[in-house]
Structure 1
Amino acid sequence: MDRNAMVLGSMSGSGAVHPRIARQRTELVLSQPFFGALALRLKVAEDRTAKTFWVDGETLGYNPGYLNTLSDLEVRGVVAHEVLHVANGHCWRQGPRDPDRWNDACDYAINPIVLSAGMVLPKGALVDARYTGKSAEEIYGLLTQEAKNKQPPAQQPHPGQLKQQSGSQGQPQPGSSGQPGLSPGQQPGDKPASQNGSFGEVRPYKGPDKPVKETEWKVAVTQAAKAAAMRGKLPGDLLAMAGEAARPVVDWRAVLHRFAQQSSPSDYSFAAPNRRYLHLGFYLPALHTPAIGDAVFVRDSSGSVFDDTQAQFDAEILSVFHSLKPARLVVMDCDTRVTQVQIFERGDSPEIKPVRGGGGTAFADPFNRVIADGLNPAFLVYLTDMEGRFPAVVPHFPVLWASTTRLTRARKAPFGETVEVIC
Structure 2
Amino acid sequence: MDHTTLEIIVLTVTFIGLMLIRVPISLCIVASTISVFLMEDFGLELVSHKMIDGLNTYALLTIPFFILAGQIMGEGGLAKRLIRFALLGFGRFKGGLAMVNCLACLLFGNISGSASADMASVGTVMIPQMVKKGYSKEFATSLTISASIQGVVVPPSHNLILYALAYGAAAPSINALFLAGVFPGIVICAILMFAGRFLAIRNGYTMTEIIPQEERGKVIFDGIFSIMPCVIILGGIFTGWFTATEAGAIACLYAFIVTFFFYRDIPIAEFWPIILKTLRICSLVFFLMAASAAFSYVLTILRIPDMVTALLLGISSNPLMVLFIIACLLILLSAPMDMAPLIMIMTPILKPVILSMHIDPLHFGIIMMLSLGIGLTIPPHGAVLFIGCALTDTPIGRAVRHMTPFYAILFICLMIIIYIPQLSLYLPQFMR
Same fold (TM over 0.5): no
Q: With structure 2 as the length reference, what TM-score do the two structures score? A: 0.25
Give the TM-score normalised by the residue count of structure 1.
0.26
Which structure dedicates a bigger proportion of its chain to helix?
Answer: 2
Greater relative CO (CA pairs within 8 A, separation 6+): 2
